[in-house]
Amino acid sequence: MQSHAAEMDFHAARALLEWQMELGVDEAIGEAPVNRYALAVEAPKVVRDVPPSSAAPTTELPATAAEEVDTVAAARRAADASTDLAALAAAQAAYNHCDLKKGARNFVFADGNPAARVMVIGEAPGRDEDLEGRPFVGRAGQLLDRMFAAIGLSRTGPDAEASLYITNVLPWRPPGNRDPEPQEIGMMLPFLTRHVELADPDLIVLMGNTPCVAALGTRGILRLRGKWTEAFGRPTLPMTHPAYLLRNPAAKREAWADLLEVKARLRDKA
């Protein structure tokens, strides 16, 4: 197939690629063979903050002119300087050190009632969330809504008691819904930590492995689920992700037990 990549913008090229994947294409093969053994090994990239300059440099910048960026420290500074959720959303949206931002259509911050007693933390936007700019709006999200509705909680609930606040570890969709990289989780953790501080929920629910890695420093959701623990200084319950429940309907029985745990804990803490 002839490549028209040079004439396409990023989103058109990605839509074409996604369409091909839906048709079953699972490998990208170039038109000409490349002997990768003969290629020079690329040196690892170092992230640098390059001072603004109107003239493009003709030679590589000397080390003294380019300052290395600690991307986690930059995230922490931006997050800690945010005094409310609107400022935090703006600071995170403006953060430029995470490459996922370049491939995402939308920044996905949160949904629901920030005053809710329960805060749900998921993994990352998928295709539907990326298109809509809201977390958990696809099939898994619809199941999540039904699950919490069964214990009287919803994003649109009338008050803190009956509502839900929902966010993700990552605000940008990873390409092809791949698992988030540890370094992406690390960069976003200061924003998530501040997000929890500012929303100040009574309880946290971690949906799946990625939020367990971010908040508890460990994975193994099938071992962790249903056991109360503490994250960000508050009672926290890991649960299996609704996408997992869609693939494994038999696990819904345990998820229901976990939801009843949330309900009971809310009653005890009232």
Give the shortest CB-106-to-ligand URA separation in angstroms.
11
Q: Does 112 bind ligand URA (CB under 6 A)?
A: no
Give the shortest CB-139-to-ligand URA separation in angstroms.
9
With beta carbons less than 8 A apart as the criterion, state whether 114 and 196 touch: no
Give the shortest CB-36-to-ligand URA separation in angstroms.
34
Provide the pairing of β-strand 229-231 with 234-239: antiparallel
| Residue with Cβ nearer ligand URA (44 or 249) | 249
Closest chain position to ligand URA (CB): 122
Residue spans of alpha helices (H) in the chain: 10-22, 71-80, 85-94, 100-103, 127-132, 139-149, 182-199, 209-216, 221-224, 242-247, 252-268
Binding string, 207-236, against ligand URA, x = CB under 6 A?
A: x-----------------------------
| Residue with Cβ nearer ligand URA (24 or 141) | 141
With beta carbons less than 8 A apart as the criterion, state whether 162 and 130 touch: no
With beta carbons less than 8 A apart as the criterion, state whether 170 and 110 touch: no
Rounded to an integer, what distance in angstroms lies between the CA atom of residue 157 and that of residue 267?
17
| Residue with Cβ nearer ligand URA (140 or 199) | 140
Q: Does 141 bind ligand URA (CB under 6 A)?
A: yes
Give the shortest CB-167-to-ligand URA separation in angstroms.
8
> Which residue among 112, 114, 135, 171 contacts ligand URA (CB under 6 A)?
135
| Residue with Cβ nearer ligand URA (140 or 188) | 140
| Residue with Cβ nearer ligand URA (66 or 221) | 221
Q: Tell me the HSE value of 42 on the side-chain side, using a 13 A CA sphere.
A: 4
Rounded to an integer, what distance in angstroms lies between the CA atom of residue 210 and that of residue 179?
8
Which of positions 153-192 make contact with ligand URA (CB under 6 A)?
Answer: 168
Q: Using CB under 6 A, count the residues that bind ligand URA.
A: 13
Radius of gyration (C-alpha) of the chain in whole angstroms: 21
> Which residue among 125, 157, 174, 201 contacts ligand URA (CB under 6 A)?
125
* Greatest distance between any 2 Cα atoms in the chain: 67
Q: Does 145 bind ligand URA (CB under 6 A)?
A: no
